[in-house]
Amino acid sequence: MLTIITILALSAALVIGLAANRRRHARGRVGEASVSDLISPLQTLAVLLVAFVIVVAAESYGTAGKAAWAEAHRVDQLYEVADYSPEPQRERLQAAAVCYARAILAYEWPEMEESRRMAPEASVWSSDFRRHFKELARKDASTFQLLVEADDQRSAARQTRLSQASPAIPTVVYWFMVIALVATVGAFAFGLPYKRGPAHIVLLGTLAALFTGSLLLIEDIDQPYSGYIRITSKAMADTVDDIGEDFVTDHPGRPLPCDARGTSTRT
């Protein structure tokens, strides 16, 4: 209903304006609007639209980066807090943390942009966390609470990371912006004086290049994990190396229940 009212209101404004313009000309009031007067509102619309979309895309990019870092940090924290747990939960939780980080890095991260779903190879270990938490709840309530909080934050960061893989700018908004910028550049080109100098062409080319660059930048940062300015998996890779080395030191000679890619080796 709101869409219909909007279309009807703008259409009525256009018809009434043209009718008033014709009547004004019939009475001899022929003050003409220059081309620049007509281009100015279009320019303002295009600039405001680009600014708005860049802000939205940048916020989404920033949220994606924070989520990737937060997840890696919480996995590392979970490993460290598990150090205060009694055996055998201590070793099992720390092993699950190492395997979870490996699986995220090997399976979920590469496919995130396409599938935007949780990799089952990593979810096996997050389920393992909860199973060990239940065992630990009967032995050490204080450590249990700290581990549950760290795991909740890890899970929330993982969900945010996956959700931010989807474009924040709706397709219809992006193409509306493209049309507005194309119309603006075309209007400026149409409004160039007949006797134009090289400066006019240079400035018009600069304007077109800036608008094109803005569109490419928006498209790139709206794909935070796959664009040229993408967020890498470095934070999780650092965590894998860090807690992997810690596990070897803390549990010498003890094997992990997964391979180098985090795939479970348990039968």
Pick out the chain residues at pLDDT < 70: 1-3, 5-38, 113-115, 192, 194-196, 267
Backbone angles phi, psi at 263, to 5 degrees: -75, 130
List, in order, residues 6 or more apart from 213 with CB less than 8 Å away: none
Residues contacting residue 74 through CB under 8 Å, at least 6 positions apart: 150, 151, 153, 154, 157
- The confidence score (pLDDT) of residue 12 equals 64
b/e 169-184 (16+ beta carbons within 10 angstroms → b): beeeebeebeebbeeb
Cα–Cα distance measured from residue 166 to residue 180, given in angstroms and rounded to the nearest whole number = 24
pTM, entire model: 0.81
What's the pLDDT at 236? Answer: 94
Q: What is the pLDDT of residue 211?
A: 85
Phi, psi of 64 (to 5 degrees): -65, -45
The pLDDT value recorded for residue 63 is 93
How many other β-carbons are positioned within 10 Å of the β-carbon of residue 96? Answer: 25
Residue linked to tokens 């460290």: 80
Alpha carbon 30 to its chain centroid, in Å, reads 52
What's the confidence (pLDDT) of residue 95? 94
